[in-house]
Amino acid sequence: MKVLAERLIERDVSLRPFNTFGVDANAALYARIRSLEDLQRVLADRRVLGMPLLILGGGSNVLFTQDFDGCVLKVEISGVQRADDGVRWRVQVGAGENWHALVERLLDDGVPGLENLALIPGSVGAAPIQNIGAYGVELAERFHSLQAWNFATQTLQTLTADECRFGYRDSAFKHETEPRLIVNVTFALPRQWAPVVGYTDVENELRERNIQQPRPRDVFDAVVSIRRRKLPDPARVGNAGSFFKNPVISRAQRSALIERHPSLVSYDIGGGRYKLAAGWLIDACGLKGTVRGRAAVYDKQALVLVNLGGASGADILALAREVQEAVLARFNIELEPEPRIL
């Protein structure tokens, strides 16, 4: 057992290849977790005992601003298993599988339902943590359950959607002090497929392509081309998708804002609450395309911060603070970062 743990754990590892911002930071210890057994071996290793732990999936929702003096657990658990109860497909997927590859693979196998979430960077195990969403679909709507290793009780737990407490880019996993490691996720995908095409961008894209009755592949293609146009490819320009959440405000707040800013973009989310497009707010401050050293506000989508190459996490964080201050000064709205800042 000891010998195996020796091989699983590395010392002083650069995390640059393991975060889509492409910033440099070192981990004191780094372990690749390919199974529950790997995890148990690593956790029992004397070098790891008592150390802070950091669970890392695809590294697409994290900003490292300093070295990590603990053990990174890089989740690489693989595997896709499918069952069919006549009404829906149940698909259990290892947490380390790549999200987009899963979406495409299921589509190829005739199992649609995740196509609106195409091209979201990151791993399957990270998807429930921030309840990924795009173009009218959230992970929560396609979710059945997940299995997670509880570090405190040292047991494998099964959690239902209710227990995950999904919200807008939010879940129970974002609020716990004692972390759990998601081992696999089970999706429930209805066999009766209906396209979700109400989102303006998707509607327009399909119209331009002259598609009236979209098949799953059409929706997938539309989403992929919209994302390619608007969002930077992390393989070429370091980024973590939207850097801020879209803020939610009351009807009264919205009315007051609209009076002064008639072109404000907002969405009615029910219950007298409105979601504002943070990208619009940042854009309206004239910050789109702003460059500070090697960090920048992406020039095609102001909600995305990018590493032009060679930026540090601190550089990107400083730019984020500048954006937050500008939006606060102009609109009296506090933007909340979406990625984990470490």
Distance of closest approach, residue 247 Cβ to ligand EPU, in angstroms: 10
Q: Output 13 or 56, the one with its CB closest to ligand EPU.
A: 56
Beta bridge partners of 29: 11, 71
Catalytic machinery residues? 169, 242, 338
Which residue has the CB atom at the shortest distance from ligand EPU?
A: 241
Alpha carbons within 13 angstroms on the beta-carbon side of residue 134 total 25
Q: How far apart are CA 319 and CA 326, in angstroms?
A: 11
Distance of closest approach, residue 200 Cβ to ligand EPU, in angstroms: 8
Q: Output 25 or 120, the one with its CB closest to ligand EPU.
A: 120
Distance of closest approach, residue 141 Cβ to ligand EPU, in angstroms: 13
Q: List residues near ligand EPU by CB under 6 A.
A: 134-135, 201, 230, 241-242, 245-246, 265, 277, 279-280, 283, 288, 301-303, 338
SS3 159: strand
In one-letter notation, the amino acid at residue 10 is: E
Assess contact for 223 and 134: CB atoms under 8 A.
Answer: yes
Query: Checking DSSP bridges between strand 143-150 and strand 155-160, what pairing results, if any?
Result: antiparallel
Q: Output 15 or 284, the one with its CB closest to ligand EPU.
A: 284
Q: Output 51 or 248, the one with its CB closest to ligand EPU.
A: 248
Distance of closest approach, residue 125 Cβ to ligand EPU, in angstroms: 17
Secondary structure (DSSP) of 222-234: HHHHHHHHHS--T
- CA-to-CA separations, 290 to 45, 275, 317, in angstroms, rounded: 46, 25, 14
Distance of closest approach, residue 9 Cβ to ligand EPU, in angstroms: 31
Q: How far apart are CA 43 and CA 49, in angstroms?
A: 7
Residue 196: closest CA among 111, 272, 137, 133: 137
Q: Output 71 or 125, the one with its CB closest to ligand EPU.
A: 125
Distance of closest approach, residue 234 Cβ to ligand EPU, in angstroms: 11
Which long-range contacts link 49-57 to residues 24+ away (Cβ below 8 Å)? 53/151, 53/179, 54/27, 54/342, 55/179, 55/181, 56/15, 56/18, 56/19, 57/95, 57/96, 57/122, 57/123, 57/124, 57/125, 57/126
Q: Output 97 or 201, the one with its CB closest to ligand EPU.
A: 201
- CA-to-CA separations, 43 to 147, 210, 223, in angstroms, rounded: 18, 55, 40
